[in-house]
Structures are given as structure tokens and as C-alpha cells.
Amino acid sequence: MGLLTRKELMESSNAFSLAQQQLREAAATFGIEADLVEVLAACKRSVEVSIPVTMDDGSINVFTGYRVIHNNARGPSKGGIRYHPSVTCDSTKALAMWMTWKCALMGLPFGGAKGGVTCDPHALSLGELERLTRRFTTEIVNEIGPEKDIPAPDVGTNPAVMAWIFDTYSMNQGHSVLGVVTGKPLAVGGSLGREEATGHGALFCLQEALTRLDRTVAGTRVAIQGFGNVGSVLARLLVEQGATVVAISDSTGGIHNAEGINIAGALAHKAAGGRVSDFPGGERITNDELLALDCDVLAPCALEHVITGANAGAVKASLVLEGANGPTTPEGDAVLNDRGIVVLPDVLANAGGVVVSYFEWVQGLQEYFWKEEEVNARLQAIVTRAFAETWALHERDATSMRNAAYALGVGRVAEATMIRGLYP
């Protein structure tokens, strides 16, 4: 999605409070001690940096960047770097917390972190983007490292940005450090399957859910909000599996076609710099209208807080697949749950990216790289196992999939925290 309004920016500052609310709701449901919840509700470290950048016209703009470590009880922290106008300290804290539960749910030896720069990357030239990235990396160079905190791509960043981070950090160390960042290009230590990983993970999650609901991907009608890395890959994979993608969108709006959208054509249109809303073969719709379309599966794959208490009652899908981080507020969650709509939560449904980031980190440390088939098979095994554990708890305790996922993730971090104890 694109630039947010002033009101939306103000609302986004509440993201961390909402993440803490989700934690406390799960803790209350599953009896986690209040003192331990207070420890888990706080971020270990938050760094705010000033990033002066020389622009192409010779002027200097000063941007603000953040790097937050929420928890590292289970290992070094892991989390993406986001370039977007809505980036705030609180939103970064929320994303770091969600990453902690996600890594624990997947059984990865990581804690959660997140970073970002408040900017519009689409308004920057390639040179400006590189200078911003290198200066940001220099400002947080003492915060990151392969055994400390490992960044990755997120909204508004890509493998090229990761390559600049890798190079800047390595120049400071005097040698190449492959494990400092994941999501790198293949030529500099990236992993096969990394760019498609989040979409693949979401597909594996959906397949498992539909199987348990006695349904199949083939014939399923899906509306996807967000046609970036996650949404576009998911759309392509769904069509390959026989699903019908009835709607897609980007920050400018979207298109709807009940008979199905030509995803291959839409991908080519987007690659050529076109806007989704200008792609022929469908009726133009807004992002808000997409959420209320008649479909079987709604996949919000853009930014957080798009399904709220105000619009959740209009959702017609029987299943929500959260490809984005935090797309549903607690109030929206409650409405969907009351209506019997199954929500496959972000900490489960979009964890494919961090799983393959873990694979890339391991490959970088070993300097031994795997085949793409091996990467995807290992990804499917991890996602399938995590889904099975979550679904079993969901059924056993008659609770939502989000509560079940949180119970597993939070419980594992709580256990590690208790075992390690408080120092001193």
C-alpha cells in the first residue's frame, strides 16, 4: 500500500499496544504468569538513528531509522528492514514482537527483531536509496551481526538493499560476512527459494487448512490484497494449483473479475511498471472494496491493520490467510471469530520468509549452498509441522488459530526465558 494519511499514521503508532494486547489475551487464555508476561511485553533494545543523505540535487535530507530487538532468549534476533512512510518506533516494536512469536512457532533458534526507515522508497533514485541504506547500516553497524541480529528484506526493500547492507557491514569488518543479512542476491550468498519463500509458506499453510476442512485449493476463489513480493508469488502459485484469483490490488487500488484474473499477464504488467488498477480484464475496485468481495479465501498481503472492528463484519470469505504482518486488529479478530471465519494468523501463514532466511543464514555460516528443491522441501516440512501443532491446540481447546499459535510461540519463548533466568 502507498502513502498513509495523517490519521492513519497516528493510528499506526498504536501497533505496539495492539501487539501487547494480543500477547496478554493469549497469556490469559493459557495461564502464563503475569510477571513473565510483563517481561515478554517489553522490547530488549530500541535504537533510533538519524540518517543524513545527500540527494541527487545536492541538498541534504535527514531521515529517521530504527532497529528494535524484542527478545533473544532463544538465539540471535532476526527480522526485516522496512522502508515506508508509516514506519514509527512503535510499529517497529510491534513487528519485532510478532517476529519473536513467529520464530518460536516455527522452531527456529532466533528471537525477534525489526528495523526500518521512515521514507518513501519510490520517491528516491537508485543512488539516493543506496546512500540511505549504507548510512543507515553504518549507524546500526554495532547492533547487527551474524551472531547478534540478522536483518532481512521487508516492505520497500529487496535483495539489492540487502547486498548494500552486506557490503557496508563487511567493509567495516575487513572481510565478507555472509551471515550478517539474509535475502541477498544469489551472487553474494543468497539462497535459492528465498524470494518466493513467504508465498510458498502461505500456500503450504492454506493447503493444510483446506485439507482439514475437506476442501482443495483447486476451485477455491481467492482475493489478494497486495501484489508485492508475497501477494504476487502467492497468486501465481495458487493459479498453478487450480485456484481462481478473483481480485488483486496494490497501493493504487485493484481489479476484480469473478471469472478469474490473468495472473501471468498481471505479473508482466506490474514488471513493466504498470499499476494493478490499470490492468485490463477486470473491474476497478478500491482496497477497502476488495476486503468485502464474495470469495472463499481473503488474503491480506499488504500492511498491518486493514481488517478492523469497523469492516470485519463485511468480510464474506470463510477463511482469512494473513500474508502480511498484523493485518487484523484485535477488534477485527473478535468479529471474524464470532462469525466463524477461520483466520490463519500471520505468525503461521507468512513465516515462510523467515524460515528460508534461517536456511540462508545456515548456508552462509557453512559456505555450503543447497538446491532449490531441498530448500522448498525443508520449508514445507517446517510449515506443515507448525500448522499441525497449531491446529491440534486449536481443536483441543476450542480456541482461535491465532490464540493457539500465540500459545505455542509465547510458551516456547517463556520457557527459554525461565530456563535462562534473569541476569544478574
Question: What are the chain's domains?
Answer: 6-177 (3.40.50.10860), 197-344 (3.40.50.720)
Rounded Cα distance between 165 and 159, Å, is 10
Tell me the pLDDT band of 286, cut-offs 50, 70 and 90.
very high
Contact assessment for residue 80 and residue 114, using Cβ atoms and an 8 Å cutoff: yes
pLDDT higher than 80, residue 9: no
In this prediction, residue 11 carries a pLDDT of 43
Tell me the mean pLDDT in the region 324-339: 93
pLDDT for the residue 310: 96
For 164-194, letters b (16+ CB in 10 Å) and e give bbbbbbbeeeeeebbbbbbbbeeebbbbbbb
Residues 154-211 pLDDT 10s: 989 999 999 999 999 999 999 999 999 999 999 999 999 999 999 999 999 999 999 9
Q: What is the pLDDT of residue 18?
A: 85
Report whether pLDDT(3) > 60.
no
Where does residue 156 fall: left (phi above 0), alpha (psi -120 to 50 degrees), or beta otherwise?
left
Sign of the dihedral through C-alpha 66, 158, 137, 114? positive
Q: How many CB atoms lie within 10 A of CB 418?
A: 13
Q: What is the pLDDT of residues 37-64, one digit of tens each?
A: 999 999 999 999 999 999 999 999 999 9
Which residue type does 129 have?
L
Residue 248 bridge partners (DSSP):
224, 255
Is residue 114 annotated as a catalytic residue, yes or no? yes
Q: Per-residue pLDDT for 35 more than 60?
A: yes
Confidence band for 251, pLDDT divided at 50, 70 and 90: confident
pLDDT of residue 10: 37
Question: Which residue has 490490488 as its cell numbers?
Answer: 249
User: pLDDT value at position 387?
Assistant: 98
| Residue 164, pLDDT score | 98
DSSP run (H or E) holding 330: helix 330-338
- Which ranges of 148-253 would DSSP assign to H, the alpha helix? 159-173, 197-212, 229-240
Q: What is the mean pLDDT of the chain?
A: 94
Q: pLDDT class for 26, splitting at 50, 70, 90?
A: confident
Q: Using CA atoms, how far apart are residues 102 and 349, in angstroms rounded to an integer?
A: 9
Q: Can you give the pLDDT at residue 315?
A: 98
Dist CA 321 CA 202 (whole Å): 7
Tens of pLDDT, residue by residue over 63-88, are 999 999 999 999 999 999 999 999 99
In the prediction, which pLDDT does 383 show?
Answer: 98
| Confidence (pLDDT) at 8 | 43
b/e per residue 99-111 (b: at least 16 CB within 10 A): bbbbbbbbbbebb
Residue 58 main-chain phi, psi, to 5 deg: 95, -15
pLDDT at 7 over 80: no
Residue % of the chain over a pLDDT of 90? 90
More confident: 18 or 406: 406
pLDDT at 4 over 70: no
Q: From the centroid of its chain, how far is CA 159?
A: 16
Catalytic residue among 102, 114, 270, 371: 114
Asked if the model's pLDDT at residue 347 lies above 80, the reply is yes
Sequence-distant (≥ 6) Cβ neighbours of residue 217 within 8 angstroms: 203, 206, 207, 210, 238, 241, 242, 243
User: Sign of dihedral through CA atoms 401, 405, 407, 408?
Assistant: positive
Amino acid at 5: T
